[in-house]
Structure 1
Amino acid sequence: MEFKLISIASIIAFYGCYFVKMFHQKKQGIQTDQIGKNKVGFVKFVEITMKIAAILVFIAGLSSIFFETEHNPVSVRIFGAILSVAGTAIFIVAVWTMRDSWRAGVSKTDKTELVTNGIYQISRNPAFLGFDLLYIGTLLMFFNWILCFLTVFAVIMYHLQIVNVEEDFLFATFGNEYLQYKKKVCRYIGRKR
């Protein structure tokens, strides 16, 4: 029961942050959800597929929490709970640090800043890291093969979004400033020497 509570609290906090931020930006005239909008070709495919993967893994995660059939060892479930809570905390800090530069997907029309302070000093993509940790943590607490497949699928799609969409966009928008940042900070976690 405690794993269900931890998981549900993590999901509520995670998606609560996501939607509160989206609502706050909407009141300011900022269109937060840029996924697939004004995109073509491979970029559109990656963003739309990423969004579908996120929705499917969310549904599978909730289903697994409420209708769990298999139990991992307690130590694995505890590790999953730690990952879920850590992923949620990382995501919330990332969104807060981005302030009004945060978007879901990239927008070539919105003027934003390259954020390199706070949590972005140790991760170039802490929001994506937060998603990954939340989903992997849920999988470890409530393992089933459908959730496993969808978690792996979502993590791969987030990675493709970073590598094929976000990094190209950031280089095109911020040029040398982004390259210098990329040389110092790892894609997911850590600083380079």
Structure 2
Amino acid sequence: MITKFLLFVLITAFYIAYFAKQILLRKKGIFTNRLAKGSKPKKTAMIESCLLTITYGMAVIQYAGFFLQRYMLPVKLPSVIQWIGIVLTGLGVLFFILAITSMRDSWRAGIDEGQKTTMVTSGIYKISRNPAFVGFDLLYIGSALAMPSGIIAVAAAGGLLFMHLQILEEEVYLFRIFGDEYKQYKKKTPRYFLFL
């Protein structure tokens, strides 16, 4: 029961940070959610549409799991695995908050050719090129372990896949925009974390 409560608090903290950052930037006239918006190549638009659906869908599934878990193909896992899930979820919240804090006004979800941002390589971006995505990945993996269910596991796997595909799209975009500066950053900073 304590794991469920902690997971609820962590997931809620994550989504509060996500939406609070969007609201704060919107007050400055910056629209952060660029997923599946504007004119984009077909492949990019499809990936972003899927990612947008999975991102919001996963939030609904996570919260539904707290109240409807017995209907979501529950799986029995040892409590130590559930505690590992709590730790991973907590790390996900930390990574995400550090990422959006480091990005300041340059944080965006999705590619938008019309909005100019600066390349951020400081803070947590010194150890990961995509710490916000790492935050989401850890949140999804952690919640799937802490609240084991077939539905949450499948949704988490879909989220991980489409976030990776989005990262690949963004890498092409960032190289096109920042050129050699991004190429050098890419050489010294891992895509995810440590050696990944």
Q: TM-score, normalised by structure 2?
A: 0.94
Partner of 2:171: 167
Tell me which of 140, 144, 153 is aligned to 1:148: 153
Between the aligned partners of 1:142 and 1:12, the Cα distance in structure 2 is 15
1:50 and 1:154 in contact (8 A); partners too: yes
Identity of aligned residues (%): 39
Partner of 1:124: 129
Q: Deviations over 1:56-102 (max 9, x none)?
A: 22222112222333442110001000000010011000000000000
Q: Which has the higher mean CA deviation after the structures are superposed, 103-112 or 174-183?
A: 103-112
Partner of 2:69: 68
Aligned ranges 1:1-193 → 2 under 5 Å: 1-38=1-38, 39-69=40-70, 70=74, 71-163=76-168, 165-190=169-194
How far apart are 1:159 and its partner, in Å? 0.3
Between the aligned partners of 1:158 and 1:18, the Cα distance in structure 2 is 16
Between the aligned partners of 2:41 and 2:173, the Cα distance in structure 1 is 14
Q: Which has the higher mean CA deviation after the structures are superposed, 180-189 or 138-147?
A: 138-147
Between the aligned partners of 1:180 and 1:96, the Cα distance in structure 2 is 23
Between the aligned partners of 1:140 and 1:116, the Cα distance in structure 2 is 32
Between the aligned partners of 1:190 and 1:9, the Cα distance in structure 2 is 28
Q: Deviations over 1:141-170 (max 9, x none)?
A: 11111111111011000000001x210110
Specify every segment of 5 or more residues in structure 1 that has no aligned partner in the other structure, as ranges.
Answer: none
Q: TM-score, normalised by structure 1?
A: 0.95
Between the aligned partners of 2:153 and 2:77, the Cα distance in structure 1 is 13
How far apart are 1:191 and its partner, in Å? 6.4
Q: Deviations over 1:85-133 (max 9, x none)?
A: 0100110000000000001112111111110011001100000000010
Between the aligned partners of 1:66 and 1:87, the Cα distance in structure 2 is 23
